[in-house]
Amino acid sequence: MPRTKGRDIEKDYPKAAFVAKLRRLADAIEKDERFLISVAGERVYVPARAQFNIEHERGSGEEEIEFQIKWQPEPAATRKKTKR
């Protein structure tokens, strides 16, 4: 199986764009559908089988909440086409 390059980025978005992405994600989760999102110019496919958690961190004078979505990648050949 070919290995993919690792990636760890953090991208800031204007509030309206962030809200739009969250709404589309929530709609996909609610419908048990796969979700397509573009992050820093790269398309990422989130399968309906993904697992969700919320993480809260506190320290060094700041707090952070992360909404995390985790999954095992599926082979490209099994991906369905997703409407944008």
Range of the domain at 32: 15-74
Band of pLDDT at residue 77, cut at 50, 70 and 90: low
- Mean pLDDT over residues 43-67, rounded? 95
pTM over 0.75: no
pLDDT for 5 equals 73
Instruction: Note the pLDDT tens digit of each residue in 2-50.
Output: 445 788 888 899 999 999 999 999 999 999 999 999 888 899 999 999 9
How far is Cα 51 from Cα 67, in angstroms, rounded to an integer? 11
**Residue 66 belongs to some domain of the structure:** yes
**Residue 43 belongs to some domain of the structure:** yes
Q: Which of 71, 17, 12 is nearest to 44 (CA)?
A: 71
**Residue 68 belongs to some domain of the structure:** yes
Element counts in the chain: helices (H) and strands (E): 1, 4
Number of structural domains in the chain:
1
pLDDT for 47 equals 94
**Residue 8 belongs to some domain of the structure:** no
Distances (CA, A) of 23 to 32, 43, 44, 78, 84: 14, 17, 16, 26, 14
pLDDT at 53 over 80: yes
* 82 contacts 45 by C-beta, under 8 angstroms: yes
How far is Cα 65 from Cα 54, in angstroms, rounded to an integer? 7
**Residue 58 belongs to some domain of the structure:** yes
**Residue 57 belongs to some domain of the structure:** yes
Band of pLDDT at residue 1, cut at 50, 70 and 90: very low
**Residue 9 belongs to some domain of the structure:** no
**Residue 79 belongs to some domain of the structure:** no
